[in-house]
Amino acid sequence: MTVVLLFCGVGLAYCDTIVSSLSNTLQSTAFTPGGWAASSFQMGNQQFVLTNVTLSFSQGLNPGMADVRVFADDAGKPGVSLADLGVQEIGFQSRLWSFTVTNGLLLDAFNTYWVGVGNVSPDAGSGLNVDVVQGGNFTFTGQPGTMMPFTGASGMASGMNAPIFDAPGAGALPFRADGTGGAVPEPGSFGLLAIGVAGLFVGSRWKSRSAA
């Protein structure tokens, strides 16, 4: 029974949606190379390890290169870049695109974070059609205590590597953030767990023999 409980404990690191606003009515906005936008969300009373972010892109005339990042909050606007989720060419295969957070990113309880997307296409004529939420009845779903206000920031990239955000944009950037509850166990933790389980097994055999 003890062994079963230990393995159930390991299984508690499940993947769940931290917050999402993709259920809103979305409108396409064209981004020229160097254009960025971001929206914020505030964590509830639980830590999460962010594993991936999903955004919505509209079909355009030409594929564009999208760079997605997670930023810390700086007095109500995106601040330090905490994770660069990489660059993907957004084509016509799907409206929703998922970006993986390599090694995960620990999101602290009650902290505010920003998800940003930029058009980093090398071709000056390459547009990136990103979906936004334009006013109206803004809705979101998320973990208890999590908030997603109707916030937006826009800006132009400096050298394509340092996005500069300033005044709020025309609409909120819809996205979904998924992760695992609490801290993810390090690989060494599984080794310690295995040793502990082996110890319990040996101990139970020793007690059985002693009783005999």
Task: Write out pLDDT tens, residues 121-131.
Answer: 887 767 788 88
What local confidence, expressed as pLDDT, does residue 104 receive? 95
What local confidence, expressed as pLDDT, does residue 181 receive? 87
Mean pLDDT for the stretch of residues 156-169: 64
Share of the chain above pLDDT 70, in %: 70
Question: Please, which residues have CB within 8 angstroms of residue 198's CB and are 6 or more apart in sequence?
Answer: none
Question: Please, which residues have CB within 8 angstroms of residue 190's CB and are 6 or more apart in sequence?
Answer: 10
What local confidence, expressed as pLDDT, does residue 212 receive? 56
Between 60 and 183, whose confidence is greater?
Answer: 60
- Residue 179 burial by Cβ neighbours in a 10 Å radius (0-12, 13-18, 19+): buried
Q: Which two tokens stand for residue 97?
A: 């695109």
Burial string for 60-88 (b: 16+ CB within 10 Å, else e) reads beebbbbbbbbbebeeebbeeebbebeeb
Q: What is the pLDDT of the chain when averaged over all its residues?
A: 78
* Reported confidence tier of residue 2, pLDDT bands at 50, 70, 90: very low
The class that CATH gives domain 13-182 is mainly beta
Give the whole-angstrom CA distance, residue 182 versus residue 189.
15
What local confidence, expressed as pLDDT, does residue 120 receive? 86
Between 29 and 198, whose confidence is greater?
Answer: 29
What local confidence, expressed as pLDDT, does residue 195 receive? 52
What local confidence, expressed as pLDDT, does residue 83 receive? 95
Question: Please, which residues have CB within 8 angstroms of residue 195's CB and are 6 or more apart in sequence?
Answer: none
